[in-house]
Amino acid sequence: MSLIIAHLLADFYLQTDHMVQDKLRNLKKHILHHLLVNTAVLTAGWLLFYQENDPVTSVVWPVLFITGTHLIIDLVKIKLVDQFTVRENLNKLWFFVLDQLLHLFMLLIALQLFYQKSLVSNVDRFIQLLFEEGRQLGASSTILVIVIILILGTTVSGHIIRILLGSLPGQLLTFEGKYTFKNELKETAYPQASNGQRGLSEQYSYMIFNKHDMSRGKLIGYIERLLVILLTYYSSYPAIAFIVTAKSIARFKQMDDRDWAEYFLLGTLTSMFIGIMFGILLREILN
């Protein structure tokens, strides 16, 4: 579990949005993050549990294996995305999920190769945590599980939602108000032809928007999913409705725009689904 946390930290916390958008150019920096984080985690594990083993076998080779396979998977992913010109958001999401599953599989392979932790036994243990009654986790394992769920429920799920929604430049704006102006064109060239002045009037209505603060929206999404996970863990499902209501009230004026309403609905439902799913998973593992 500590290796999974190391992978998530390096993949989602130590690389910026700019690095994600141009991953090929920043690939060396990204791989360096994984090298440093995995080295720190495996060194700490060796000092705590494997001091009787050779440090080269317990630290150096696993780090090189994990970092090397991560580099290969990322290069193959980048080439496949460029080759198939993946534009559909759902296809991008499947590439992302497959990429993360391959990285997880490589971590399990590393455990089997260098620590004699069988791949099958690791999968069986996870299944037992979900479905077997009376299992108990130690304090350290409980903390690691909570940390993994929190990371998955915030940064990882936020990345999934961004991929699924895509970019809507016209809708990623904050509505400020609607203004109406009337322009009157009066005819005064032939005043004798009429008892009064005749005129043509034109009315202009347009929306005023401000740029959306993405960092603020990201923070709101994190807090929202954390609340949903916590409420789901305690089976307080009716309280989740208040979160949706609060978001709807805050965005009420924007609901006049159908594109924005669909964007908001898709993002909210996806966020709620992920939060509830991780809340149930946390409850099944810990209880």
- Return the domain boundaries, the chain: 1-132, 134-168+210-286
Burial of 159 (0-12, 13-18, 19+ CB in 10 A): middle
Global pTM reads 0.72
pLDDT, residue 231, reads 93
Give bridge partners of residue 182 from the DSSP assignment.
Answer: 203
b/e map 120-155, b = 16+ CB within 10 Å: eeeeeeeeebeeeeeeeeeeeeeebbebbbbbbbbb
Checking if the pLDDT of 120 tops 80, the result is no
Tens digits of per-residue pLDDT, 213-265? 456 778 888 999 999 999 999 989 888 888 888 887 877 776 777 777 788 88
pLDDT, residue 129, reads 64
pLDDT, residue 211, reads 45
